[in-house]
Amino acid sequence: MSEFFKSALGYISGSGTGGTDNDFVGQQVELGDQKLRVRRVIAEGGFAFVFVAQDIATGKDYALKRLLANDEEKNKAVMQEIRFLKKLSGHPNIIQFIAAASIDKSSSGHGQAEYLLLTELCSGGQLVDILNRRSSSLGCDEVLQAFYQTCRATQHMHRQNPPIIHRDLKVENLLLSSQCSIKLCDFGSATTVTHAPDISWSAIKRSLVEDEITKNTTPMYRAPEMLDLYQNFRIGEPGDIWALGCVLYMLCYNVHPFEDSAKLRIINANYTIPESDTTYTVFHDLLNCYFYTLESHQNNKTEPP
């Protein structure tokens, strides 16, 4: 990781400890040659906080993600997230990596390792917030543009060697840049590891993989093969493709096709396209291609579309 972690020596100036999001606001942060002032919190969840940070010299705003890790597993997960983002950065539909820094728990002052990840600021905010605020649905052209750009980001991940699997593709992880282009973010659940269950797998091994899936995916976006490992289908990139189908459905109807996260509904691809829909008929066949049942998967002996 040293090839892209810049020195964080003395990265916080001021009297605050930075122990909470409120304490961190107002602090001065140094990443490499950049000096930034932390302005405000824009998102938080788990052990991560995202702030707007302004370059003191230029006045330009960036997104600064602050991650705390109190054990080795979290340390590895954070480093992997930053590694993936750096590798994928440069694609027009993936959030742009700028810099990263870290300090270990012995130097942090609060007993946890701390990581700072600086990226471009997507001033348009989360796509899901825009969907929720709108009084009318997206037009077909808007749906097509948003979905096409999301697919391009996913394709870029899957074309890496080895392929990078996001595992948490959802509208909440789609941001809008100042130019209104889609930017995929949050690679904290991403992996290059795939699973190929077979009859030799023990119940314990299946349970461990199920625990991993539970930890890194959102229930209503899970693909059928993630919910029934005893069907012995490969778990990997197809899970992202299933999630893309969920994203398309949400862009059209502003509800999730499997809102209740019911296991049997997902396994049987039991979703409904509104009968009254005349606006998005052009997407109906595409939606049907994205959602597959384990039964059809078994009969066709092929990977999901």
Rg from Cα positions in the chain: 21
Asked if residues 245 and 258 have their Cβ atoms less than 8 Å apart, the reply is no
Instruction: Please tell me the distance from the alpha carbon of residue 221 to that of residue 108, in angstroms, as a whole number.
Output: 36
Which residues pair with residue 67 across a beta bridge? 48, 115
Asked if residues 36 and 99 have their Cβ atoms less than 8 Å apart, the reply is no
Select which of 71, 168, 260, 285 is catalytic.
Answer: 168
Take residue 112 and report the two structure tokens written for it: 């946890």
User: By 3-state DSSP, what share of the chain in percent is helix, strand and coil, each rounded to 5?
Assistant: 40, 20, 40
Q: What angle do CA 271, 277, 282 make, to 5 degrees?
A: 85
Give catalytic status of residue 277 as yes or no: no
Look up residue 86 and give its amino acid: K
Instruction: Please tell me the distance from the alpha carbon of residue 113 to that of residue 115, in angstroms, as a whole number.
Output: 7
Asked if residues 191 and 165 have their Cβ atoms less than 8 Å apart, the reply is yes
Count of CA atoms in the C-beta half-sphere (13 A) of 191: 18
- DSSP strand pairing (12-13 vs 5-6): unpaired
Instruction: Please tell me the distance from the alpha carbon of residue 95 to that of residue 88, in angstroms, as a whole number.
Output: 9
What residues are labeled active site? 168
